[in-house]
Amino acid sequence: MSTVLHGHDPASIEPVVNLCDAVAVLGSFPALAGVTMTVMRGEIVLLSGPNGAGKTTLLRLCAGLVALERGQGRVLGVDLANDRESVRHRVGMIGHSNGLYGDLTVTENVRFWGLTVGASESEIDLAVSRMGLDGRLAHLPVSRLSAGQRRRTALAGLVARRAELWLLDEPHAGLDAAGRDELDSVLKMAATAGATVIVASHELERASKLATRQVEVIAGQVRKVAAL
């Protein structure tokens, strides 16, 4: 699965995320005030912390969506200070919305996202089946799916897009118990296959079972790193 999903060398020892004293500013507000953090390939890292602590900004920095104001930052080997746009197509970020088109079917949505990176039909079909969306579900319009099924469709889009780093902001929000269990098993499967996952969540009990490490962010800084 790993080669089909991500096409990288699982034995690579370079950190996927390597931030050193990273500062990011939103307007005039320093949302990240010197973050140092390393994430290795295949890890599932839980970002915890209160609202406004800088978790989402940290995810957006890793996605190349927020400029690195000071400090050093490399994601997937790309220097964020000089070339942050080039990391975007290798990173998949899902926030509170899924980025899906309600009138299109599950397969059409996954195909659309896959084709943005030139994925083949077999890669797209595999992404759909890996997320348990094949069969009848594959041909249903997304607007008729449950919240959990929509989230899985969005993740299938990340697989089809060959995203190597998955950045998920409150992925359990809006899901029922079954949907949360499904999501956790999908994320574990993705990490086993070589994807690196960073999850920002307030649901520490659930996310602790999923993650291998917890990084606590408070006031734009990493306050605690703990193995789980």
Partner 1 sequence: MSNTVQQRFTGTTVIGTARLIAAKDLRVELRSRVLLNQVLPFALIVMVMFAFALDSDAVLERVAPGLVWLAALFSALIMVSRSFAVETADGALDQLRSAGVPAMGIFIGKMMALMAQLVVLVTLLIIAAVVLYRAELSWAGSVLLVTTGLTATCGLAAVGTLYGGLAAGAKGRETLLPLLLLPVVAPVLIGATRATESAFGTRGVSTSQGWPWLGLLAVFAVLFSVSGAVAFGPLLDD
Q: Cβ distance 205 to 193 under 8 Å?
A: no
Site for partner 1, residues 66 to 85, rule: CB under 8 A: 85
* Residue 63 within binding range of partner 1, rule CB under 8 A: yes
Burial zone of 51 (CB within 10 Å; 0-12 exposed, 13-18 middle, 19+ buried) = exposed
Identify which range of 4-12, 36-44, 74-82, 88-96 contacts partner 1 by CB under 8 A. 88-96
Minimum CB–partner distance for residue 102 and partner 1 (Å): 7
Instruction: Supply the DSSP string of 56-99, one letter for each residue.
Output: HHHHHHHTT-S---EEEEEETTEEHHHHGGGGGGGEEEE-SS--
Among 88, 125, 138, 219, binds partner 1 (CB under 8 A): 88
- Which of 102, 146, 224, 225 contacts partner 1 by CB under 8 A? 102
Residue type at position 103: D
* Closest-CA residue to 158 (of 65, 87, 64, 92): 92
Number of residues that bind partner 1 (CB under 8 A): 33
User: Where in 181-210 is the site for partner 1 (CB under 8 A)?
Assistant: none
Point out which residues bind partner 1 (CB under 8 A): 63-65, 85-89, 91-104, 108, 112-113, 115-120, 141, 161
